[in-house]
Amino acid sequence: MSRATLRDVAKLAGVSVATASKALNGQPQVRAETRERVIRAAEQLSFSPNTLAQGLITQRSGTVGLLTSDLEGRFSIPILMGAEDAFGSDQTSVFLCDARGDTIREKHHLRALLSRRVDGLIVVGARPDTRPSLGDLPVPVVYAYAPSDDPADLSLITDNTGGGRTAVDHLIRCGRRRIAHITGDPGYSAAQDRARGAVDRLTEEGLTLAGGEVWFGMWSEAWGRGATRMLLERCPDVDAIFAGSDEIARGVLDVLHEERIDVPSRVAVIGFDNWSVLAVNSRPPLTTIDLNLEHLGRIAAQRLSAAMDGTAASGVETFPVRLITRESTAPLR
Amino acid sequence: MSRATLRDVAKLAGVSVATASKALNGQPQVRAETRERVIRAAEQLSFSPNTLAQGLITQRSGTVGLLTSDLEGRFSIPILMGAEDAFGSDQTSVFLCDARGDTIREKHHLRALLSRRVDGLIVVGARPDTRPSLGDLPVPVVYAYAPSDDPADLSLITDNTGGGRTAVDHLIRCGRRRIAHITGDPGYSAAQDRARGAVDRLTEEGLTLAGGEVWFGMWSEAWGRGATRMLLERCPDVDAIFAGSDEIARGVLDVLHEERIDVPSRVAVIGFDNWSVLAVNSRPPLTTIDLNLEHLGRIAAQRLSAAMDGTAASGVETFPVRLITRESTAPLR
DNA sequence: CAGCGGGCCGAAAAGGTTTTCACGAACGTC
DNA sequence: GACGTTCGTGAAAACCTTTTCGGCCCGCTG
């Protein structure tokens, strides 16, 4: 099965390539009967236009690059799906490249992508902290998840502060008053932001954190377990725990369960990320905060399209997160 | 920042485009001094060749398509990484498309990829069962993870039977004799194959499954928990459990822990998949079977390269899995 | 000194498509 | 019957690069 060219189609239809092109592309200056003949010829040869040649002359390759450092991670994939969705998949295909956290590999991929004449670039960081800008490029770029350090770039991020606030707000609405916060590495802006949001909301309510302060540590179940044990010792009457990630929340649940402390009737637990393999399967299923990453991906695609059409934006846009209610939280009584 | 063409480079270097091309591509028929001049000009203009044009004439786009139905899943990503790795990333870029289990979406993506003149295709199924062949295509195809139903195609799969055998073998070497197997949906060939491997190895040793038979159910923690409870009731002296997935294994561990049954001293537990967020974080960390998917991806890339160079293969190749020993198994005593 | 071969370089074709422009025919108008 | 429109079609240029082949200049050989 070999590839037919437009010339083959034209010959079979008895017209010139120019006419064939116009017929297939819906240009008006061709007689209906002729168009019909061309289309039939194309089908008969199962012709499909060579996108490379098209790109060469239209100066649009119909491709974008997705440059990430978080492939096996769970962030780039939803973003990719959202983006794939927003570009019609027949219009635009996406090159996926994983730099694996390595700057020179990133440069490498960048060169390759530019050489392939991608129409735009989406850059997804591995963590929500600011990352170095790629600088001035011949194609539009949007940074998603991790913002660029250059305000002239366009960055799309999730609202971690708002997420912390939402989580605590939900716990308060459940009637909880003694709320603790166990979270990950304090070196991550995500940890800091979520904690800030949580504390802000608590302060509005005239409350302070159970346990006195935020329990920073690591993004792991083990830390969730350890911190929970310490927390229970220092503060046995805690009635809600806001975990900075679903992994941590799993550790929290594990220890509560071990101590025969019922969730949610005695202690409510809320996670962060809505990583479904963790959140759905836990006992009980975990209320958590969803980052809305597919949405972020869709917006990234839209912004990219806009920029390709000449209306580029810049600055940082923050997108709201979403509360997912499951069974690990419930009103008191 | 706009894109320089080879003609710009040639003009700046004071040579013809032909010479410029040869200079940059290391062709011998150009004087060293001239080459030097061209290279400097190229750097100065930060020239990068237009891959579309190159592809047009060499008849090679330097791209491959990865068609999957398992994006948020954990299988395609390692395969993608392996493939990206095996193709030099500067030589070949990969288009990632997710059909989301939808046949017409798959057709759609396929059209788009062929239109983009990909040099080859890797098809990754969502589950290890046989899937329909894409049929005769103008480019080579390799099926990975899920084999094609057409023996004329080339399929690369993991050895699930061998995995079951390896798991049980490990438990036997740990001195266990009363080994149970809790696994997922019996409609998955993976479940059947793993079970068969396990039973085979048991039979060789003159043993039978603790609990009398394989506990088929669902691929979830909840099933792991439920099955374990039933198992303990029917067969309280079980000394090892082989779980058909890490998710199930998590459920198993959870109940054992709840029942204060020590792992691994009283019951050893082994999982399947080496899904690290589950396996590494569990208590204790989970011994499991790794599918070696990156390796599968690398081989897929190699087979594809070979096919592109004219030496196509067909049939089904099975690749061994790998035992990852952590702390949920240990010799008795 | 004629002829020849080797070393470097440039002109041109090729790859597949889109788009512009010119051309011819058919038709209507005066 | 001459002229102006409109409609449909085709020739050719353009996109950017690689590759073939011919040509030029030099130095060498006979």
| Residue-by-residue pLDDT tens, chain A, 333 positions | 568 999 999 999 999 999 999 999 999 989 999 999 999 999 999 999 999 999 999 999 999 999 998 877 688 999 999 999 999 877 899 999 999 889 999 999 999 999 999 999 999 998 999 999 999 999 999 999 999 999 999 999 999 999 999 999 999 999 999 999 999 999 999 999 999 999 999 999 999 999 999 999 999 999 999 999 999 999 999 999 999 999 999 999 999 999 999 999 999 999 999 999 999 999 999 999 999 999 999 999 999 999 998 899 999 999 999 999 999 999 987
Q: How does pLDDT run across B45-80, given as a tens digit for each residue? A: 999 999 999 999 999 999 999 999 887 768 999 999
Q: Could you give the CA distance from residue B253 to residue B273 in angstroms, rounded to a whole number?
A: 16
Longest pairwise C-alpha distance within chain B: 87
C16 C1' to A145 CA distance, Å: 40
Residue of A238, A201, A257, A246 lying closest to A220 (CA atoms): A246
Q: Could you give the CA distance from residue B149 to residue B132 in angstroms, rounded to a whole number?
A: 5
Task: Give the number of C-alpha atoms closer than 13 A to the C-alpha of residue A118, restricted to the C-beta side.
Answer: 27
Residues 6+ apart with CB under 8 A from A206: none
Q: Does A111 touch chain B (CB under 8 A)?
A: yes
Q: How far is CA B304 from CA B142, B144, B223, B292, B313, in A?
A: 7, 11, 39, 18, 9
Q: Which residues of chain A neighbour B222 with C-beta distances below 8 Å?
A: 281
Q: Could you give the CA distance from residue B24 to residue B53 in angstroms, rounded to a whole number?
A: 15
Query: CB–CB of A96 and B94 under 8 A?
Result: yes
Instruction: Give strand pairing partners of B121.
Output: B65, B141
Which residues of chain A are in CATH 1.10.260.40 domains? 6-49
Q: Could you give the CA distance from residue A247 to residue A221 in angstroms, rounded to a whole number?
A: 5
Superfamily of the domain at B61-158+293-321: Response regulator (3.40.50.2300)
Phi (first) and psi of residue A68, to 5 degrees = -135, 170
Gap between the terminal Cα atoms of chain B? 69
CB contacts under 8 A, A 163-202 vs B, are none
Residues 6+ apart with CB under 8 A from B75: B124, B126, B145, B291, B293
Min distance B73 CA to chain A CA atoms (Å): 9
Q: CB B212: neighbour CB atoms within 10 A?
A: 10
Please list the alpha-helical segments (H only) found in A94-220: 103-115, 160-173, 189-204
The distance from CA B90 to its chain's CA centroid, rounded to whole angstroms, is: 22
DSSP string across A57-114: HHS--SEEEEEES-SSSSSHHHHHHHHHHHS-TTT-EEEEEE-TT-HHHHHHHHHHHH
DSSP string across B246-295: HHHHHHHHHHHHHTT--TTTT-EEE-SB--HHHHTTSSSPPBEEE--HHH
Q: Does B281 touch chain A (CB under 8 A)?
A: yes
Identify the pLDDT of residue A71.
72
Instruction: Give strand pairing partners of A287.
Output: A270
Residue of A155, A164, A156 lying closest to A191 (CA atoms): A164
Q: Looking at residue B61, what DSSP letter applies?
A: -
Q: Does A52 touch chain B (CB under 8 A)?
A: yes
Is the omega angle on the peptide bond into residue A284 within 30 degrees of 0, that is, cis?
yes
> Which residues in chain B come in under a pLDDT of 50?
none
So what's the architecture of A62-158+293-321 in CATH?
Answer: 3-Layer(aba) Sandwich (3.40)
Residue B91 buriedness (CB in 10 A; 0-12 / 13-18 / 19+)? exposed
What crossing angle do the helices spanning A246-258 and A221-234 adopt, rounded to 10°? 50
Residue A322 host element (H or E): strand A322-324
Min distance A31 CA to chain B CA atoms (Å): 27
Length of chain A: 333
Q: Which residues of chain B neighbour A97 with C-beta distances below 8 Å?
A: 84, 89, 93
Task: Name residue, tokens 């459920």.
Answer: B251
Q: Could you give the CA distance from residue A245 to residue A171 in angstroms, rounded to a whole number?
A: 16
CB contacts under 8 A, A 239-258 vs B, are 247, 250-251, 254, 257-258
Which residues of chain A are in CATH 3.40.50.2300 domains? 62-158+293-321, 160-290
Q: Which residues of chain A neighbour B257 with C-beta distances below 8 Å?
A: 258
Cβ contact B86:B306 at 8 Å: no
Query: CB–CB of B80 and A61 under 8 A?
Result: no
Strand C nucleotides within a 7 Å radius of protein CB atoms: 7-12, 14-20
Q: How far is CA A143 from CA A155, B53, B262, B278, in A?
A: 5, 29, 48, 30
Which residues of chain B are in CATH 3.40.50.2300 domains? 61-158+293-321, 160-290
Q: Which residues of chain B neighbour A49 with C-beta distances below 8 Å?
A: 115
Residues within a 7 A CB radius of strand D: A 14-19, 22, 28-31, 33-34, 53, 56-57, 59; B 3, 5-7, 17-18, 21-22, 24-25, 27, 29, 47, 49-50, 53-54, 56-58
Q: Could you give the CA distance from residue A17 to residue B100 in angstroms, rounded to a whole number?
A: 37
Q: Could you give the CA distance from residue A78 to residue A49 in angstroms, rounded to a whole number?
A: 31
Cβ contact B91:B308 at 8 Å: no
Q: Does B2 touch chain A (CB under 8 A)?
A: yes
Q: Which residues of chain A neighbour B72 with C-beta distances below 8 Å?
A: 77-78, 81
Identify the pLDDT of residue A70.
83
CATH of domain B160-290: 3.40.50.2300
From A82, which residue of chain B is nearest by alpha-carbon distance? B98
CATH of domain B6-49: 1.10.260.40
